[in-house]
Structure 1
């Protein structure tokens, strides 16, 4: 027999199949033909025979290392607890009387780390109570209780392992007897049932990943959510089954099911896919001549490499307001830029949602100060839109596919059409949204609203010289707390945000003007009588700039500004100005502000 100072946390006692509590971490180690196993010291010192046991006084009981019956024999069980026989059984061969050794020697007192003030007393009669560990009713189990403090837990909960594993998480989970402060501060729900966890509940959690699960959910649902539905399990298995990463798994699903991958910065590719696959339209990659609905002028092809655009300004499509990444078109007379796909949008779209009985008609705004709020993503826009029954949808939301694959989830997401009376929490921002404008994986209870589905994958910000990548939980590579560099508030550990690995900087999505105003095109210019110079619409004002009308700070806010005399006026004040004697134009020759 060899002694070890510490028993590995993953081992169970060979005799009682219960874990080693902290105060029992020292015990003997035995070896049989080179194989090690562990025993509690009390289990190693069990007597070989019991001459007269109170439950069987006529014959002696002999300790056996294994059950004397066949493993598939369900007729024989412990005569005290009526449960199946396991290792180390006291047996009477004459009467076929059997007792678990734990039932033969009952520990009436237990010093448990959940209640260090007093020992817990074993209550051997089944009682009706609410367990302080798992919050389940205990009416058929033995339990431990502290009468003075009214602490009452199941016997099975009392001997839970302090460290455990789940199939849907890569790291070991630690058992704690109350919700940790970092989870309590943000109100992080159970990762399985998504319900709030009482602060005094026992939970299993992983600190670096901010993963937490109810004790009840851990015991009841050993398998992850995505394998409960058999059809879903067979079609979309765990990425590890493919022998690769989550990226390789998503690539295979996307290729097999012909889905568009999100997040993306290439909106034209998404539009092209939807118009071709879901609306049956023929889209020309590079048409010889097209006309833009807004100006009806002839349009010429444009090579981005030959465009001398203004410094610090990206070229955006005046139809969908998204960045132009490849060759596109331009109207030389109006100085409009656009994707070729956006120039071929149909004038009407079929009924997209059940709440609308009319077709959606394509339209656009006339004045540079006009804007609308998209009914789906709730973001302001000044680009083209589809309207039906006074409901406005920007081009991006109107042309989202019915099914898509997202980097934040293992399975394809379905557009939740016709569930307008149902509300769910977005797993990205935590806000409640109507299921009409969302995507969901119902097997995993994973939902996203339109605003988060359309977040760009990569953005730039003046405070970081590197591209910022959209990040999803769990953030195991950044176990500490992280704060938004703009608003300086702590970022919720379960919320999506933009992050730069090189500089270790994080940002709330809506704190970045390029994300908040991603449905806006900038550069439009208008003139009015109160100011002698033209004003140019910019994404944000300077760090110390203020509106010359309402005197509100213009930093990170849309602003009309003058490049000649540094005059600026906020978007809200500009919309209040009378349009009398207002000249609208688009001019790329006026230089932007340098911040």
Structure 2
């Protein structure tokens, strides 16, 4: 908090998207806004630790860095590859940077029972060039390696399954793909994010979800929604479209019936 106050003039308020982590909340969150720049920081981001230990970079402590509103932020997070926000953790010795979100995530050091391999996989805690055994992509990140077979995997690839039953698309199972088909728009049908190395897809319905949406599907019901007084139930995509078409047809019939009735009344 003190290092943030040295650069920004803050007052307590609530806001949506945080400039410290680039994460936008669904509702207003407690935090701090700068009087001069208008930038907003979540309370959790503003009170982040000055330095942290991280399993991806165990050789040195990572120190927090705050960039002023007048400075451009260069580089990307070494974990998620996203653009670095105004606050991030940095090692000046190794030129290694990660954003606040990735710094908070628990690091899985071992995958004891991977879905795609018969042996335990262990995190290699340094950036090396490797070829993933599942997607075949040559990458320079942090692989999970099998010491017995000498194979390397991305974490998402190692934990993935060839086929997935998904609540938002119950009619057909989704297949694991590592290449985006040319007939798709290249985006997740739920969050609209760009599809990357690994995702799940139904070729019959042209339905795709990225790994994050596959891991965290929408809840089947909302018991206490803020925008409505009753419980809301998730409708799979195809059912929702059919209901929408049915509603449109009913509205058309009502309009036609009203027009005919008005015409007869005039005559």
TM bucket (normalised to shorter chain) is 0.3 to 0.5
What is the TM-score of this pair, normalised by structure 2? 0.47
**Which one has more relative contact order, counting CA pairs under 8 Å at least 6 apart?**
2
What is the TM-score of this pair, normalised by structure 1? 0.24
